[in-house]
């Protein structure tokens, strides 16, 4: 029996990268996992297959975030597969690495729609589905606490907003025994960071130099932190910002 056996989890943006790592870990721990994806159905089905191959249970949900009615559409699809939720991981997000002088209003609105508005309304419409004693984890970023990459200003702003959401929501849901936390990765080796890490001969070394541990993180490094927070072991941690940057802010 896994530590999450009998619980249902939803991970947004779970078809690849950090989201897939989290979904697979929760599946191994016994949770039935709703694997959300925006457009890449094939990748989401691969995540589901990987969870099932490891002995877990999962199903895919395809809904584009950042558009009107996204939260309602996601929950409508979720309700076809499950009758309640124990764990919500708001992982889906997009970035903008354009400096402030180049970013357009459309760019700005889009990154806030996906990274901030979508999680907010997913929670608003999902609170009645979230069972007492549940867990909410919002995937933030170390960039919410450092200006080391100032061209990511719009993205960093969205993660700062998500951190405030975690803090305040912990008070709203605490009476029901539901914990809410932010987990902030640093540079993680995914397809999103491929250009940064592999686009130049010294890319990996420069990225690793940010970390006190002298390395680049993996999705599993973040997933393990999330797994603790959603387990019974994380029951007394709420309203927190958990640094999962490998010491990149020290």
Q: Which domains does the chain have, with CATH numbers?
A: 8-188+219-244 (3.40.50.720)
Q: How many helices (H) and strands (E) does the chain have?
A: 9, 7
Candidates 37, 159, 182, 211; catalytic one: 159
Q: What pLDDT does residue 170 have? A: 98
Active site residue 141: yes
Please give the structure tokens belonging to residue 23: 């979904």
Catalytic residue among 96, 141, 182, 248: 141
Q: Catalytic residue at 159?
A: yes
Q: Position of tokens 């925006």? A: 38
Catalytic residue among 15, 37, 96, 140: 140
DSSP 38: S
Parallel/antiparallel/unpaired status of strands 8-11 and 130-139: unpaired
pLDDT at 84: 97
Query: Per residue of the chain (250 residues), what is the pLDDT tens digit?
Result: 699 999 999 999 999 999 999 999 999 999 999 999 999 999 999 999 999 999 999 999 999 999 999 999 999 999 999 999 999 999 999 987 788 999 999 999 999 999 999 999 999 999 999 999 999 999 999 999 999 899 999 999 999 999 999 999 999 999 999 999 999 999 998 888 778 878 888 889 988 999 999 999 999 999 999 999 999 999 999 999 999 999 999 8
Distance from C-alpha of 61 to C-alpha of 92, rounded to nearest angstrom: 13
| Residue 44, pLDDT score | 98
15, 37, 96, 155: the catalytic one is 155
**Extended strands (E) in the chain:** 8-11, 32-37, 57-62, 85-90, 130-139, 179-185, 241-244
* Burial letters 171-197, b for 16+ CB under 10 A, else e: eebeeeebbbbbbbbbbbbbeebeebb
């Amino acid at each position: 029996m896994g530590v999450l056996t009998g619980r249902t989890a939803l991970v947004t943006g779970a078809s690849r990268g950090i989201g897939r790592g989290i979904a697979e870990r929760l599946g191994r721990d016994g949770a039935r996992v709703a694997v959300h994806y925006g457009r890449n159905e094939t990748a989401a089905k691969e995540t589901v297959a990987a969870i099932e191959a490891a002995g877990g249970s999962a199903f895919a949900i395809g809904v584009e975030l950042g558009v009107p009615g996204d939260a309602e559409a996601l929950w409508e699809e979720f309700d076809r597969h499950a009758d309640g939720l124990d764990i919500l991981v708001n992982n889906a997000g997009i970035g903008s690495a354009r400096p402030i002088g180049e970013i357009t209003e459309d760019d700005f609105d889009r990154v806030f729609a996906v990274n901030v508005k979508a999680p907010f309304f997913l929670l608003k419409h999902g609170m009645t589905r979230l069972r007492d004693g549940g867990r909410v984890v919002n995937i933030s970023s170390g960039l919410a606490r450092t200006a080391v990459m100032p061209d990511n200003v719009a993205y960093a702003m969205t993660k700062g907003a998500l951190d405030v959401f975690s803090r305040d929501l912990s008070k709203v849901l605490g009476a029901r025994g539901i914990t809410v936390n932010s987990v902030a990765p640093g540079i993680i080796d995914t397809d999103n960071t491929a250009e940064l890490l592999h686009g130049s001969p010294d890319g990996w070394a420069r990225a690793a130099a940010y970390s006190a541990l002298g390395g680049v993180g993996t999705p599993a490094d973040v997933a393990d932190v999330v797994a603790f927070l959603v387990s019974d072991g994380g029951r007394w941690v709420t309203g927190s910002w958990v640094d999962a940057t490998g010491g990149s802010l020290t």
